[in-house]
């Protein structure tokens, strides 16, 4: 029977660590602050934004909220980002994606100062991720590394298979696993023999975006399975990319949906915010 990796518990520990760091920074006169920008009122985005603001409140990070109308122009959004880049009381800037069609997402990502890029989406952050230099790591893959480490699942030397190649999850996930000395394979919609490749994985990261796609035929005995998918089946029930009931007897460890990867994304955003505040002010919580 697979061990359940408790993302709720691990994310709570991380948020408590951030809370301590934020409190120490405040004692030293620095109040970490995150600007959260949402353009339009996409219901899923609203839920994510609300969770991020709630986590700020819990950890003691000041959140500055910008809820802009659907018809906001690209120039207006870029102007707001420029003002926030220049505002020394704001340490992190997050624009919730997707943005409406009239706004070029790439331009928005590139407009955010890399120093304040707590999502880790700026090309400078991506470059630093690949070369192993200092920079912000994207929150979902960084959260998955924490789930593995804090569950004592070794990455070093082991076979890791990432299914999915998005800029937000698949690609950075593969790089982070590589940085931990994993032997990494990236699979995607054109991959042949997907089952056979997945069956070799000691660590399988499922980010294919199809509900309950991975059953026992894809899983090696004792593998750790990280399920990044989140889908709402008929009614209210949530499920992931993995058919959990079907793999429970063969896997060694698995993240549940909900309560696995999801809460980690927000926790790692908080980590990036206190790090941003420390780097920009030169004030360190630990000294």
Active site residues: 52, 96, 119
Report the interface residues with ligand GUN, using CB under 6 A.
Answer: 94-97, 119, 139, 168, 265
Taking the complex as a whole, the smallest distance from the CB of residue 121 to ligand GUN amounts, in Å, to 7
Q: Specify the residue, 95 or 148, whose C-beta has the smaller distance to ligand GUN.
A: 95
CB of 109 to ligand GUN, least distance (A): 9
* Residue with nearest beta carbon to ligand GUN: 97
The CB-of-265 to ligand GUN minimum distance in angstroms stands at 6
C-beta of 84 vs 139, nearer to ligand GUN: 139
CB of 120: closest distance to ligand GUN in angstroms? 9
Residue number, 169 or 250, with CB nearest to ligand GUN: 169
Q: Is the Cβ of residue 45 or residue 185 nearer to ligand GUN in the bound state?
A: 45
Residue tagged 């990261």 (tokens): 205
């Amino acid at each position: 029977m697979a061990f359940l990796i408790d993302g709720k518990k691990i994310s709570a520990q991380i948020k408590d660590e951030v809370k301590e760091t934020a409190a120490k920074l405040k004692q030293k006169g620095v109040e970490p602050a995150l600007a959260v920008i949402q353009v339009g009122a996409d219901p899923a985005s609203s839920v994510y934004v609300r969770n991020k603001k709630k986590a700020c409140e819990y950890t003691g990070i000041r959140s500055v909220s910008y809820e802009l109308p659907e018809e906001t122009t690209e120039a207006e959004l870029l102007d707001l980002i420029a003002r926030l880049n220049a505002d020394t009381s704001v340490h992190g800037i997050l624009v919730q994606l997707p943005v409406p069609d009239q706004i070029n997402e790439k331009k928005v990502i590139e407009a955010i100062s890399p120093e304040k890029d707590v999502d880790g989406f700026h090309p400078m952050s991506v470059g630093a991720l690949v070369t192993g230099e200092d920079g912000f790591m994207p929150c979902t893959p960084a959260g998955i590394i924490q789930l593995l480490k804090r569950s004592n699942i070794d990455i070093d030397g082991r076979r890791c298979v990432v299914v999915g190649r998005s800029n937000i999850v698949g690609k950075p996930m593969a790089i982070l696993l590589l940085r931990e000395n994993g032997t990494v394979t990236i699979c995607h919609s054109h991959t042949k023999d997907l089952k056979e490749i997945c069956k070799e994985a000691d660590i399988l990261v499922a980010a294919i975006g199809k509900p309950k796609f991975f059953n026992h035929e894809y899983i090696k005995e004792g593998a750790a399975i990280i399920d990044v998918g989140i889908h709402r089946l008929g009614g209210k029930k949530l499920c992931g990319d993995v058919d959990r009931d079907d793999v429970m007897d063969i896997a060694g460890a698995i993240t549940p949906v909900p309560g696995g990867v999801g809460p980690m994304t927000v926790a790692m955003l908080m980590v990036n915010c206190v790090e941003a505040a420390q780097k920009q002010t030169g004030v360190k919580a630990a000294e």
